Amino acid sequence: MFLPLVSVLPAHAQEVPGLFSAEVALHEESVDARNNAYRAALIAVLTRVSGTELSANEELIDEMFPVPAAYVTRFRPGEDDMLWVTFDGEAIERVLRASGESVWGSDRPLTLVWLAVDWGQGEREIIAADDPDRRPQEARSIDRNRLLRERILEVADKRGLPILFPLLDTTDLQGVTFSDIWGGFDDRIIDASERYGAISILIGRIRASSSQPNRWTYVFGDEMRNWVGLPEVVVADIADILAAEFGVGGDAPLETVALNVSGVQTVNAYGSLQETLAELSLIERFRISGVAGDVVSYEVEIRGGVDRLRRALSFEGLLEQTAEPTDFSGFEPTTTLEFFYDP
């Protein structure tokens, strides 16, 4: 079950469900089988919500969570001697923050994957979100594309990383060709990605019948990185990059910021904005400090710094403004941010 796959045209970020649930092997013949399964499930969950640095430190995990069963809220048997385990997410986050560990919330940037594959013998394809209709003799192409997609989605699922492959409909194919991806014409790919609302874009080139390394370009906001490696390793690296960007440490200092958002013209827009702020993990709490016309002003307490808040709001689709700030709060924050809400 690959939760991070998104099949519709989305916004900049996706709410990732199931971060605090995991399916693990249950070895009934082993001593203390159930508790061993709980511990394995907890490590899988911590990999998603805090990152690989903590999940690899099993001694520290045992110190922070000496009795994993105490955090289990539900469990059920799965197929083939597997066990589904769901934990109390709020309780786990409290322990992580109290220990100074980072927490990456469920509202996460969407990563769009443009993957060009040279299968050899002149067969070249871009991997799409769904396989097109094929003639029976072309079934092999569907199978190998699906298997490659699933390799990527499996790692993304383990890391709680929302992944989207392009539709490759008429609009996509008018903007991007196999040669564009293979030849490194990244500007064309970035332009074609705008319709998906993705600010995290992975561009891959795989020569399946060759020993040559896979080539990858990763675009995140205004940053661009290049490297080589297997798809599974690259996707895990991206998860680490985004966890470092959006995860907030419990020992990060608390800072108060004035946030003014214009363009809030309806009750629905107001509700959507409130929900967006509530879901940002670096925001500890916020309150409305004033309203004037279509401008709503907030007093926001954050951990992780103003620059990260600025980026997080931009990734949620809010547009930063440079106009003179409007402050109704009566307090003196270190920084005032001006954004425009464009539903």
Confidence of residue 105 (pLDDT cuts 50, 70, 90): confident
Q: Check residue 140 and give its pLDDT.
A: 58
Looking at domain 252-340, its CATH architecture is 2-Layer Sandwich (3.30)
Strands 163-164 and 111-120: parallel
* Better pLDDT: 143 or 278: 278
**Average pLDDT for 45-53:** 93
* CATH code for the structural domain at 108-246: 3.40.50
pLDDT band at 265 (very low <50, low <70, confident <90, very high): very high
Q: How far apart are CA 115 and CA 117, in angstroms?
A: 6
pTM reported for the whole predicted model: 0.81
Residues shown for the chain: 343
Give pLDDT, residue 321.
Answer: 84
pLDDT above 50: residue 116: yes
Q: Are 114 and 201 contacting, i.e. CB atoms less than 8 angstroms apart?
A: yes
pLDDT band at 271 (very low <50, low <70, confident <90, very high): very high
Contact 337, 258 (CB under 8 A): yes
Nearest to residue 152, comparing CAs of 124, 126, 113, 178?
113
CB 339 within 8 A of CB 261: yes
Greater confidence, 286 or 131? 286
Across residues 272-290, what is the average pLDDT?
90
Cα(206)–Cα(182) distance, rounded to whole angstroms?
Answer: 9
| Residue 106 per-residue DSSP state | S
pLDDT above 90 for 8: no
Nearest to 44 by CA among 101, 91, 94, 83: 83
Q: Count Cβ atoms within 10 A of the Cβ of residue 59 and give its class: 0-12 exposed, 13-18 middle, 19 or more buried.
A: exposed
Q: What is the pLDDT of residues 154-209, one digit of tens each?
A: 999 999 999 999 999 999 999 999 999 999 999 999 999 999 988 899 999 999 87
Residue among 286, 288, 297 at smallest CA distance from 256: 286
Percent of the chain residues topping a pLDDT of 70: 89
- The helix or strand, by DSSP H or E, that contains position 283, with its residue range, turns out to be strand 283-292
pLDDT at 333 > cutoff 70: no
Six-digit token string for 343: 């539903």
Residue 35 phi, psi dihedral angles, 5° rounding: -70, -35
- 139-159 vs 231-246: helix axis angle to the nearest 10? 30
Q: Which of 137-141, 235-239, 316-320 has the highest mean pLDDT?
A: 235-239
Half-sphere CA count of 342, side-chain side, radius 13 A: 13
Which candidate, 125, 103, 113, 148, places its Cα nearest to that of 238?
113
- Counting Cα atoms < 13 Å in the Cβ hemisphere of 209 gives 7
Please say whether the beta carbons of 299 and 331 come within 8 A.
yes
The whole-number average pLDDT for the span 120-130 is: 90
Instruction: For residue 116, give the nearest of 219, 207, 193, 189 by alpha carbon.
Output: 207
Pairing of strands 223-228, 215-220: antiparallel
Q: Among residues of the chain, what percentage have pLDDT more than 90?
A: 62
Helix, strand, or coil (residue 291): strand
User: Can you give the pLDDT at residue 303?
Assistant: 86
Q: Using alpha carbons only, what angle is made at residue 162 by residues 187 and 298, rounded to the nearest 5 degrees?
A: 90
Q: Where are the domains of the chain?
A: 18-103, 108-246, 252-340
Question: What pLDDT is recorded for position 15?
Answer: 81
